[in-house]
């Protein structure tokens, strides 16, 4: 595919520095871009690569344009502009409408004629699938599921019974929706399973990464609200609610019955305890451990950054001594007050 700089500029409302007829046929990083490819500069950490780039053009801000040795597309938000233009170079995976002969379709299903169902898909009874949705190879949709229109389920997605998925939802391979939540009651030294009677509701415009698991509710439903973006290998337990347009990065674990607000950002491998409430517009740093509810918007972190192992070992010893040191300090304060 070839497209001119002028054509790309129109799509992102960019100002051009250089040749508007320059042809672009790909997109890459500043370090690896070839003379016919587009790149971008958003993070100042990568500005050191700008002067040596071989790209045909770079998306950047007015602040950096004088340092750019090649053509430029000048915008206020380079990363967003890159996300828009990158779609022009995506390799489209084509699925034709229709049902593959190897697919197994249950009784009383409502499948729109524009739906594409690929090889070895298994669909239970009374499933509804909206127009232009793609169900790729090896997916399993159990009975009474509802899938909206313009959805894309990549190969080997598993959707348990009664799960509801809205329009324009993308679900990547290995994801499991509606598995039982982890609920057990202890009696006489043994664990007894609690039935999980709720379901999972995924609203419109949600994206779910590969190998993510979202458990069905115990009594109420687990709900992922509109516009939420979930990374890979996330565990979302029963009865969790995630508010609109919140983004959750890979390997996060969210325990049961926690409610997360709108427009939050949760960093990779964060752990969030159960029965908590996190308000809107909260940013949680990577590997943070959240054990209490958060009622005020803002950025929250926990843990320590890495250091040399010898220093870390010394600090661990000191950490274990903090309680003793605090008690000694309190006694000294009491003594000073008496004197």
Active site residues: 238
How many angstroms separate the CA atoms of 95 and 133, rounded?
10
The interaxial angle of helices 322-338 and 309-320, nearest 10 deg, is 50
The string of DSSP codes covering 233-299 is S-EE-TT-EE-TT-EE-TT-EE-TT-EE-TT-EE-TT-EE-SS-EE-SSEEE-TT-EE-S-B-S-EE
Task: Count CA within 13 A, CB hemisphere, residue 166.
Answer: 14
Helix (H, G, I), strand (E, B) or coil at 74: strand
Q: Are 239 and 257 in contact (CB under 8 A)?
A: yes
Partner residues linked to 122 by β-bridges: 104, 140
How many angstroms separate the CA atoms of 28 and 53, rounded?
11
Q: Which residue has the tokens 């996330």?
A: 234
């Amino acid at each position: 595919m070839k497209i001119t700089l002028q054509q790309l500029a129109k799509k992102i409302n960019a100002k051009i520095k250089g040749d508007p007829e320059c042809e672009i046929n790909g997109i890459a990083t500043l370090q690896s871009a070839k003379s016919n490819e587009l790149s971008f500069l958003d993070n100042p950490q990568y500005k050191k690569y700008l002067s040596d780039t071989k790209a045909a053009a770079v998306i950047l801000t007015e602040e950096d344009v004088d340092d750019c040795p090649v053509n430029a597309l000048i915008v206020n938000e380079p990363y967003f502009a890159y996300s828009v233009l990158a779609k022009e170079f995506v390799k489209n995976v084509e699925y034709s409408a229709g049902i593959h002969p190897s697919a197994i379709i249950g009784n009383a299903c409502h499948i729109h004629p524009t739906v594409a169902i690929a090889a070895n898909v298994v669909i239970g009874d009374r499933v509804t699938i909206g127009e232009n949705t793609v169900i790729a190879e090896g997916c399993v949709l159990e009975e009474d599921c509802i899938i909206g229109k313009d959805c894309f389920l990549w190969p080997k997605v598993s959707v348990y019974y009664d799960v509801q998925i809205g329009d324009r939802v993308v679900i990547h391979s290995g994801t499991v929706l509606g598995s039982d939540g982890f609920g057990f009651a202890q009696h006489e030294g043994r664990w007894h399973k609690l039935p999980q009677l709720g379901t999972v509701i995924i609203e419109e415009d949600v994206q779910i990464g590969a190998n993510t698991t979202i458990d069905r509710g115990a009594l109420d439903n687990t709900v992922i609200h509109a516009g939420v973006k979930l990374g890979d290998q996330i565990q979302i337990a029963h009865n969790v609610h995630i508010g609109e347009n919140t983004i959750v990065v890979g390997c996060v674990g969210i325990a049961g019955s926690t409610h997360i607000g709108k427009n939050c950002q949760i960093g990779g491998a964060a752990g969030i305890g159960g029965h908590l409430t996190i308000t809107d517009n909260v940013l949680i740093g990577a590997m943070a451990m959240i054990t209490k509810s958060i009622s005020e918007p803002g950025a929250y972190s926990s843990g320590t950054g890495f250091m040399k192992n010898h220093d870390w070992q010394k600090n661990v010893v000191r950490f274990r001594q903090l309680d003793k040191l605090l008690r000694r300090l309190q006694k000294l304060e009491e003594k000073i007050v008496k004197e």
